[in-house]
Amino acid sequence: MINFVTRFRDNYTFLNIIGDSNDNRDFYVEFIDLNTTEVKYSTIIKINCWSQVDSTTQNIMLIRVTSENQIVFERKQSDKFGRVYITIGSNSLGDNIAFVPCVEEYRKLNNVEVVLYSNHKNLFDKVYTDIIFTDISDSNYINDVDKKFRIDFGPELYMINNVLESEQWYINNEKYDNVVKYYDYRKHSLQSIANLILGIPDQEYVPKINIPEISTPKIKGKYVVVAIQSTSQLKYWNNPFGWERLFDFLGRNGYKIVIIDRHKSFGIAGHFNQAPKSKYVIDKTGNYPLSERIIDIKYADMMITISSGLAWVSWAVGTPVVLISGFTKPWLEFKSNCTRIHNSNVCNGCWNDTNVTFDANNWLFCPKNKDFICSKAIQPKDVIDGVKKYMK
């Protein structure tokens, strides 16, 4: 199968022919100005090669491809399909939950079909039935769309094989129609990044996810769900007595505490993190399917966690969230149905500091060497006061 990938921009017109490299046919490419019928440029290329003509600002262009004396492809700049392609560049659970409702808002506002790539599509396909979900993540293999967008973080975090490749981010983004060509992720809330890229009103869009149908909750009685683990030490609640005193308070008030992290203990040598032992705890750590985590969260009185993907799951299913985070500013995550626990009186918010670029390869990354004071200084009483808002 051969794909003809086109881009019509204000200052250039582009064609890329993608297919089986064993196909040795020649393709005669013409870039034609429809105002004058003048061939602005022509060339012969092979499969997996591209061609481009510049300075087409005042022209209405036609791309014509001929092979073996037959026209095999034509596309006019004015052709419209009423369809766009959007790819979510992040594999993170929380990022996908944040971005998909923004995609839905774009679809409704622009009255177009949306073809969406998300590597978590099984989480959304039953509740966003007007979005066409695809397994194709490479936009080069998507045809017959008017625009293509890519939602991800900016060049400061663009990694290829765990190596920062900021310049490659700019090159790759040339093939997309993102409304803004550059944005500093550190200055915007998570959903604002998608709103900027898609050009939709910058407001909070509450997500939906597929919720398994069950007749009764699996956990009987009054309970909360807790997730403490993360992927870098600065993301944890690093107060040494925090979780212990919170668990004691919850237990004395009749709550079961259900721990739903994948890992019971996580970190690096000398810096492993584990929830404290408590007679009130139900240990559900382990590699459970996400569908079971969703059920446990859905029927809990609240979710108590750090800035994590499971916090976004809880928001999506309508369970109140007590969100503890020092490394992010309180405006980064969602606001509705959430109590944000933060201490602004100490060093905090390095994720949103434009002088700091997060180092995902350094478990102990703390850019100002303050020993994670941003979360150490969040006291158990602060969290307990937040929890009290949702207690029954």
152 shares a domain with 40? no
Cα–Cα distance, 4 to 45 (Å, whole number): 12
352 shares a domain with 291? yes
Cα–Cα distance, 191 to 104 (Å, whole number): 13
- Per the structure, the complete domain to which residue 126 belongs is given by 83-198
Within a domain: 282: yes
Number of domains in the chain: 3
351 shares a domain with 228? yes
Read off the DSSP letter of residue 235: G
Cα within 13 Å of Cα(1), Cβ side: 6
Structure confidence by residue, pLDDT tens digits, 218-232: 899 999 999 999 999
312 shares a domain with 174? no
193 shares a domain with 228? no
Position 70, amino acid: Q
Within a domain: 208: no
Structure tokens at 11: 């200052």
* CB neighbours of residue 40 within 10 Å: 17
150 shares a domain with 246? no
354 shares a domain with 258? yes
Please report the pLDDT score of residue 301 as a whole number. Answer: 98
130 shares a domain with 7? no
Structure confidence by residue, pLDDT tens digits, 329-387: 999 999 999 999 999 999 999 999 999 999 989 999 999 999 999 999 999 999 999 99
Q: 190: part of which helix (H) or strand (E)?
A: helix 190-198
Is 56 a residue whose pLDDT tops 80?
Answer: no
Cα–Cα distance, 266 to 15 (Å, whole number): 48
pTM for the full predicted model: 0.90
230 shares a domain with 191? no
Cα–Cα distance, 42 to 28 (Å, whole number): 7
155 shares a domain with 258? no
383 shares a domain with 266? yes
Say if CB 292 and CB 217 are below 8 A apart.
no
DSSP codes, 40-90: EEEEEE-TTEEEEEE--TT--EEEEEEETTEEEEEEETT---SEEEEEE--
Cα–Cα distance, 317 to 319 (Å, whole number): 6
171 shares a domain with 62? no
Cα–Cα distance, 255 to 224 (Å, whole number): 7
Within a domain: 211: no
Within a domain: 338: yes
The per-residue pLDDT of the chain, averaged, comes to 95
Say if CB 124 and CB 209 are below 8 A apart.
yes
Cα–Cα distance, 304 to 391 (Å, whole number): 12
Rounded average pLDDT over 43-59: 90
